[in-house]
Amino acid sequence: MAGSRLRAATRGSQLARWQASRVATLLEAAHPGLQVELVLVETAGDRRRDVPLWEVGGQGIFVKEVQAAVLDGGADFAVHSAKDLPSTTAPGLALAAVPERGDPRDALVGSTLDGLGVGARVATGSVRRRAQLAWLRPDLTFAGLRGNIGTRLQRAAEHDAVVIAMAALERLGLVDDLAATAGAWEALDPSVLLPQVGQGALAAECRADDGQTRARLAVVEHGPSRRAVDAERAFLARLGGGCDLPVGAYGREGADGELSLEGLIASADGRMVVRRQRTGPVADPAGLGTGLAEELLERGGASVLFSGDATA
């Protein structure tokens, strides 16, 4: 494989480039002689940072142009945050690998949850985060939040707290300085704030008919992470939602060899929350995700999704 090369499409943000470089490093270590070149792509989500995600187009606004670069032959594969991917893989593409997952939790920066005063103002661009925090603390008020991680951290000074993915903070090496730069902060356990589908995980896509690239990418696959993400994506696919709905899910494998999945549907104002957990065989993550979604719909989630209460 001496002298061989792969082109990896990615957004141009600091975090996206870190993520693509991480996959590139894994690939180059697994395939001696391989060189991975980054192809930077601007997306609709990057161009319209002043508009809430659900107004711009919701899930997919950070990946469509990156996927197009692969489909058009401008790159051999793409690296995404798995949480940005629509729940159904785009025609002509294959989800070739999910490397080992990072921290799936959300972080509250600027305060701890218990430290927030009555009526405190929390900034987040996620309806999922807002709905769950409103469920936990109906007294809280909320503001929108967009921009790169540095911009979001700067905005913490304008509010009582902001919510940011822990994986992003860790990947950019910002965790150790949080106490000094933002004061109090807290990583929120999934039992408190259920993550977005795919949060903390990376996803590598290539053309479905590109067998050579698929085989190369397969070596960076992490089985437990892939099965958890597959279950979460099947859950979301059954609900038909994206980041424009207050929906969360988190899967993990236990020591008993079974896959556990917890899912949630909420109203945007946090007044209605339906949350359940179930386990299933690791051999059928999609069945587990679909089954949990059906259970939530039957237990009241359908009334939230289809009554109009789920949207902001």
**What is the spatial distance between Cα 65 and Cα 63, in angstroms, rounded to a whole number?**
6
Q: Which of 46, 50, 72, 84 does the annotation list as catalytic?
A: 84
Residue 85, φ and ψ in degrees, nearest 5: -75, 135
Candidates 57, 75, 58, 55; CA nearest to 66 is 75
- Report the distance separating Cα 264 and Cα 259, nearest Å: 17
Helix (H, G, I), strand (E, B) or coil at 94: strand
Distance from C-alpha of 98 to C-alpha of 203, rounded to nearest angstrom: 5
Q: Is 84 a catalytic residue?
A: yes
The CA distance from 308 to 205, in Å, is 34
Cβ atoms of residues 93 and 207 within 8 Å: yes
Asked if residues 187 and 107 have their Cβ atoms less than 8 Å apart, the reply is yes
AA letter at 237: A
Cβ–Cβ < 8 Å for 248, 196? yes
Cite the beta strand spans of the chain per DSSP E.
5-11, 35-41, 77-81, 93-97, 106-109, 121-123, 141-143, 161-165, 185-188, 202-207, 247-253, 258-266, 273-281
Read off the tokens for 155.
């905005």
Rounded CA separation 285/269 (Å): 31
Which residues are catalytic, by number? 84
